[in-house]
Amino acid sequence: MPTKNGSGRGSGSTATTNPPGNQTPNTPDINESEIARLKVDQLRDRLRRRGVTGTADMRKDDLVKALVKAMKDGAKKSTSARAGGSSGSGSSRSGASRSGSSAKKTTSSSANPPGNQTPNTPDVNESEIARLKVDELRGRLRARGVAGTADMQKADLVKALVKSLRDNSGASSSSGGGGVRKGPQNSKSIKYAQEVTSVDDEPERPGRSLVTTDHEVIRRWAEARKGVPTTVDGTEHDGHAGVLRFDFPSNGREQRLREISWEEWFRAFDERRLNFIYQEERSDGKQSNFFRLESPDREDG
């Protein structure tokens, strides 16, 4: 009987140290089986948030290994920091003070990422915007329909872009994010298309032309056709995605298309104030892969 009890305690200890699916010793928060079930764009997003770059050409196996390694390295640093902060009573009091300060910082950063001083606008990173060059700032403002930037200094351009992004974020929140973007170059296709503002909206009839800016509507439409977000190779500029496309297996994989994350695809989509014109079904009721991206601000889209 004592032997059985001892054996049971030993078994329980092992499970606590490493949960099922975790092959990394002493890292209970890293579940490798769960990480392996993530999609490619989710893996790239998580690596990007941890400061890992150069993931665009990595395959899924390599992305999984890279994320596990990044999480493991982070766990080691965290353990080392905790061990260093627990020596001596004076150190303990200091550690408690630091812990309280850290909690405040954590709460603040979860509401607004570092570099973002605009409440409730997680996509507006003001530090990142301030690092852009003057011509990049003018280009982004022009793409958002803001005129009169030729004589503006960099500080004013930064403020104008932050304001434009913040205003757009507020408008997206109030309208559900699917409202059509309007401008001098709106085409007849947009004028006569049925506006879709959420995934609950249904086409009025098969073959109906639809238009939306809602991210979830666009993502679901593409994923239902096994499409992946891509940019046309060679059209990128200043580290930003170039011409936006979807790569559908039914069309045969195109060599010039380079897969990017959904985050990067939608960032370019919003910055260029594009509308997504598409069909769910053709007039004969068969699934349609037709889509077009249009800018209301310039003829070339």
In tens digits, what is the pLDDT along the chain, a chain of 301 residues?
444 444 444 444 444 444 455 555 555 567 888 888 888 878 887 887 787 887 877 888 888 998 888 888 877 765 555 555 544 444 444 444 444 444 444 444 444 444 555 444 445 678 888 988 998 888 787 766 677 888 899 999 999 888 877 765 544 443 335 678 887 777 888 888 999 998 888 999 999 999 999 999 999 999 999 999 999 988 887 778 889 999 998 766 566 888 999 999 999 999 888 999 999 999 999 999 999 999 887 654 4
Domains and CATH numbers, the chain: 2-111 (no CATH), 126-175 (1.10.720), 188-294 (no CATH)
Q: Could you give the CA distance from residue 199 to residue 83 in angstroms, rounded to a whole number?
A: 49
φ/ψ (deg, to 5) at 152: -80, 140
Q: Could you give the CA distance from residue 118 to residue 27 in angstroms, rounded to a whole number?
A: 35
Q: Could you give the CA distance from residue 142 to residue 272 in angstroms, rounded to a whole number?
A: 9
How many Cα atoms sit within 13 Å of 176 on the Cβ side? 14
> Whose CA is closest to 273, among 296, 242, 250, 299?
296
55 has which bridge partners?
Answer: none
